[in-house]
Amino acid sequence: MSDTLKSGQRVLHVDSKNYYGGNWASFSFSGLLSWIKENQQKTDTDECEDWKKLILETEEVISLSKKDKTIQHVEDFCFGDQDSAEDVEEAGALPKLPVFGAPGAEGVAQESEKECPPVESALPEAESQEPDKATGTEPASATAGHDAEITSENESSPSTALGKPTLELGKTEAAPSEISAQEPKKITYSQIVREGRRFNIDLVSKLLYSRGLLIDLLIKSNVSRYAEFKNATRILAFREGKVEQVPCSRADVFNSRQLTMVEKRMLMKFLTFCLDYEQHPDEYQGNYENSTFAQFLRTRKLTPSLQHFILHSIAMVSETDCSTLEGLQATKKFLQCLGRYGNTPFLFPLYGQGEIPQCFCRMCAVFGGIYCLRHSVQCLVVDKESGRCKAIVDHFGQRISANYFIVEDSYLSESVCTKVCYRQISRAVLITDQSLLNTDSEQQVSILTVPPVDPGKPAVCVIELCSSTMTCMKDTYLVHLTCPSTKTAREDLEPVVQKLFNLNPEKEAVNEELEKPRVLWAVYFNMRDSSGVEKSSYDGLPSNVYVCSGPDSALGNDCAVKQAETIFQEMFPAEEFCPAPPNPEDIIYDEDEIVPEESGFSNSPETKPESATEESSSGDSAESSNF
């Protein structure tokens, strides 16, 4: 909502959870265990009817859901000695947060759940031209022996044609791998619990395309100053039961030992064609217009291994459902993103994907946005005559008025969503003791697409994160698996986990399994995908109530950016979406305009409004209540 504040509006963000981001959030290990317990129990909350006294005869209400039903089938497994961790305390843990509804519970931020860098901003401004100046971002509670040094430096790649700055990357120089040839260190469950604050575990697993919509938005809006990024270092493929690295760039192709010289020429010729395929419509239209991309590849005189690499590791599309044109578009997007920040098209934010919504929250707060966590909403108040929503009533019985309301899909009740058909996402998160593909460097960020065994089943996207991404403790890896759901998450993803990893206790593992990374802990869950739902599918929503969805199953973030821009343009068609903020030194403050007593929103917690004139009003500049 930072864009609405920049356009002169005021924003109140109300969230029933005690952390930012909803299903986009990330947690420490102990935080994730609490989240798992909460979603496995799902206890009913007592409903208070006092708020109904605030509703006038000329108004009606749209009740909101009291329970979050977006997460289902949560199953977690520990593959070590769990009893030994019963009395282990998390290092550096803060006192437990108060229970929901307790005094002082509101406004508790997720920032307390993770270690913060000692500097105020981990990422220098994008305009900085000091490539040799390093900025330390070692976590505050890290010991002196921490062997990962994070530096911020400008890339030498050219900026866009409009002269826009490029993102700063947090590059991690891994220490020399002295133990790469040795056995992986034995990590116990008690160690994971003790070092739980080293983990930042995302509920949704995504990467940022280096020329994607989100990167452009982060640069344009200057939100990039609040985050730091690391390159995805390699693209992997799973073929014939083995994991191998895929050559992507021109240098990778010609240095590859996997491909013959003939295959290298064939691959470069095809990739060159994909970069400007629009100029050669006769090569992909006509006979191939109605064929799949996999069928099209078979006609290009490519070897089976090249077809596999292109389909599953470069285009990363379905073998049965993707058309020729969609495959060419996906391949071109991949190739256009190469080289902007590194050897692959992808970036990953340090401390996890959950940092991205928090970055926008920080920008919003800088411009006066108000955030209320642990603050649930009972209903929307609708004027019968105009049909527009005019206020909300929160769990304290306060009536808060605004002109526009943006509601996350999970807050809508079943009566509003009777016509909605949701998709589901299957997710798994693993903590492992070694990488899927060991190399000289332990600090690798890898992406792997595992093709389906049975026709019609979805491919599984696997993202493996190392400790230098600040998402897991040293000597462990954090592995995310994602695919569109066909069954429960465990049924969808466990066959892939069994192919890639060793799930057996160390004493029971056979020789073949000993070569695989060992899973130390795992969780499976299904997440609702509401990204494809049209507003017209919801029953009885007023025209000034806008619905935003949770995460989708795609690898990138284009869907969320497009949705945010669409909602903003519907509300303020004459305004620019997410304009660049002014520099602090350019802001001129007028003392007459500073009125700290006025919040921009009003409420009447105790008195019942007798007439419309007595109802609390936020004025024309109040923008939204986002909950």
DSSP state of 399: E
Mean pLDDT for all residues in the chain: 79
Mean pLDDT comparison of 182-196, 437-451, 582-596, highest-scoring range? 437-451
Name which of 373, 363, 246, 261 is nearest 316 in CA terms.
246
Q: How far apart are CA 200 and CA 32, in angstroms?
A: 9
Q: How far apart are CA 569 and CA 356, in angstroms?
A: 22
Q: Mean pLDDT check: name the lowest of 241-245, 286-290, 372-376.
A: 286-290
DSSP state of 16: S
Mean pLDDT score, 268-273: 92
End-to-end CA separation in angstroms for the chain: 12
Mean pLDDT score, 79-101: 62
Q: pTM, whole model, 2 decimals?
A: 0.80
Contact yes or no for 451/319 (Cβ under 8 A): yes
Q: What are phi and psi of 548, to 5 degrees?
A: -110, 145
Q: How far apart are CA 19 and CA 26, in angstroms?
A: 9
Mean pLDDT score, 407-434: 93
DSSP string, 240-266: TTEEEEPP-SHHHHHH-SSS-HHHHHH
CA atoms within 13 A on the CB side of 14: 26
> How many CB atoms are closer than 10 A to CB 500?
21
Residue 601, pLDDT > 60, answer no
Give the per-residue pLDDT at 253.
83
The beta strands (E) that lie in 217-369 are given as 229-231, 234-239, 242-245, 346-349
More confident residue, 62 or 1: 62
SS3 517: coil
Mean pLDDT score, 62-91: 82
Q: How far apart are CA 346 and CA 212, in angstroms?
A: 9
Residue 154, pLDDT > 60, answer no
More confident residue, 88 or 330: 330
Question: How does residue 43 score in pLDDT terms, banded at 50, 70 and 90?
Answer: low
Convert the pLDDT of each residue in 612-625 to its tens digit: 333 333 333 334 44
Q: Give the H or E element holding residue 203.
A: none
Give the per-residue pLDDT at 177.
41
Q: Give the H or E element holding residue 202.
A: strand 201-202
Give the per-residue pLDDT at 491.
95
DSSP string, 572-593: -TTSPSSPPPPPGGG----GGG
Q: How far apart are CA 397 and CA 28, in angstroms?
A: 33
Token pair 């070897």: residue? 303
More confident residue, 257 or 325: 325
The amino acid occupying position 416 is: V
Contact yes or no for 101/395 (Cβ under 8 A): yes
Residue 510, pLDDT > 80, answer no
Give the per-residue pLDDT at 2.
54
Give the per-residue pLDDT at 73.
96
Kindly give the residue spans of alpha helices, DSSP state H, lying in 282-438: 293-298, 304-308, 324-337, 355-366
